[in-house]
C-alpha cells in the first residue's frame, strides 16, 4: 500500500474554518502539508488553526472572502511568505442563497457565483501562476457538488456554479498538463449544515452526533457520511500516487468513492440534407428522444418504517 506523504508541501484551503473545508485542512496537515486556513470569520479561522497545530500540524490563517483577484493573491502570498511555496490549492469556499428561479434576485445570483465560480477562478489562476513559476508541478482540487452534476430544485445559482467548476477542471487539466499541475473536481456528500436541514436526514445526523454510527444504507447505498469521510480524497489527489489523475470529477462520501462521467453524446440520428422541424417531430421520439436523461439528485432510499 503506497504511503501518502505530503511533507514539504504547502496548501491553501479556502473556506476551511469549519465543515468540509476544515476536514480537508486537517487531512492535508495530518499527511505532512503546511496549510493556509481561510475563512471570513477571524475567530473561526484561528480556532481551526489551533485545532490543526494542537494535532501536530502546521497552519496559519488568512481571513478574507474569496472572489476577487486581490483575495486570491493574498492567499497565495501568505502561503509563500509563511512556508516558502505553494503546491496544493483546494477551492472549498461557498455560500448558499437558495430560491426558485422566479424568486431569485440579482443579488442572490451574483453572491453565489462570485464566491463559488469567480472565487475558484481567481484562486486557481493565482495558484497556477505561482506553481508554474516554481516549475515543480502542483495540484488544484476544485470542490463541486451533485447539484452541479445533476441540477437541484431551488439552486439555480449554486448548481450553475458547481457545473462550471467541473468544466474548469476539464479545461485547466489540458492547459496545465505540461506544467505537471493536476486539476480535478471532487463531489463530496456529507452531513453538513446544509444537509441537516433535509428532514429525512435530520434524525440520522442527530443520532450520529450522539455517538451512533450511520446505517449502511446511508454510508454505502447513498454514499453519505461525515466530512472526515470525504477528506481522504484530498491528500490522495495532492500526492504522487495520483500524479496520473487529472481532469476528473470524483465523488466521495460515507464508504463510497465514485467516478462521474463527462457529458457526452449518447445517441444520434441523421437526415440527408439536414433536419426540418417536421422531420424532427417525426423522428425524435423513436430515435434520440427514446433515451431522454433524468435530472435532479435522486431521493435517498430510506428503509420502510
Instruction: Indicate which residues carry an active-site annotation.
Output: 145, 158, 162
Per-residue cell: 28: 492535508
Q: How far apart are CA 36 and CA 72, in angstroms?
A: 12
Nearest of 214, 212, 210 to residue 201 by alpha carbon: 214
Report phi then psi at 298, rounded to 5: -55, 140
Per-residue cell: 90: 483546494
- 239 CB contacts (<8 Å, ≥6 apart)? 4, 5, 6, 31
State the helix-helix crossing angle for 69-83 and 119-134, rounded to 10 degrees: 40
Q: How far apart are CA 31 and CA 77, in angstroms?
A: 23
Per-residue cell: 50: 489551533
Q: How far apart are CA 195 and CA 57, in angstroms?
A: 29
CB atoms within 10 A of CB 203: 9
Amino acid at each position: 500500500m503506497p504511503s501518502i506523504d505530503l511533507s514539504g508541501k504547502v496548501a491553501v484551503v479556502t473556506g476551511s474554518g469549519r465543515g468540509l473545508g476544515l476536514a480537508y485542512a486537517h487531512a492535508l496537515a495530518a499527511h505532512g502539508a503546511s496549510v493556509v486556513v481561510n475563512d471570513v470569520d477571524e475567530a473561526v479561522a484561528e480556532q481551526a488553526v489551533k485545532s490543526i497545530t494542537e494535532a501536530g500540524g502546521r497552519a496559519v490563517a488568512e481571513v478574507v472572502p474569496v472572489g476577487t483577484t486581490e483575495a486570491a493573491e493574498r492567499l497565495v502570498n501568505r502561503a509563500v511568505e509563511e512556508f516558502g511555496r505553494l503546491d496544493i490549492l483546494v477551492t472549498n469556499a461557498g455560500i448558499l442563497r437558495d430560491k426558485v428561479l422566479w424568486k431569485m434576485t440579482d443579488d442572490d445570483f451574483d453572491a453565489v457565483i462570485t464566491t463559488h465560480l469567480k472565487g475558484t477562478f481567481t484562486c486557481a489562476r493565482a495558484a497556477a501562476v505561482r506553481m508554474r513559476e516554481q516549475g515543480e508541478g502542483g495540484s488544484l482540487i476544485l470542490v463541486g457538488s451533485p447539484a452541479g452534476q445533476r441540477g437541484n430544485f431551488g439552486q439555480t445559482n449554486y448548481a450553475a456554479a458547481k457545473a462550471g467548476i467541473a468544466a474548469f477542471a476539464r479545461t485547466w487539466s489540458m492547459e496545465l498538463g505540461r506544467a505537471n499541475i493536476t486539476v480535478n473536481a471532487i463531489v463530496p456528500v456529507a452531513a453538513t449544515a446544509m444537509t441537516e436541514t433535509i428532514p429525512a436526514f435530520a434524525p440520522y445526523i442527530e443520532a450520529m452526533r450522539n455517538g451512533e454510527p450511520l446505517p449502511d444504507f446511508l454510508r454505502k447505498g447513498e454514499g453519505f457520511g461525515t466530512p472526515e469521510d470525504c477528506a481522504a480524497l484530498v491528500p490522495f489527489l495532492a500526492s504522487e500516487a495520483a500524479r496520473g489523475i487529472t481532469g476528473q470529477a470524483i465523488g466521495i462520501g460515507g464508504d463510497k468513492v465514485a467516478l462521474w462521467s463527462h457529458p457526452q453524446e449518447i445517441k444520434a440520428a441523421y437526415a440527408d440534407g439536414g433536419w426540418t422541424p417536421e422531420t424532427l417531430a417525426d423522428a425524435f421520439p423513436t430515435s434520440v428522444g427514446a433515451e431522454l436523461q433524468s435530472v435532479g439528485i435522486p431521493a435517498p432510499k430510506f428503509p420502510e418504517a
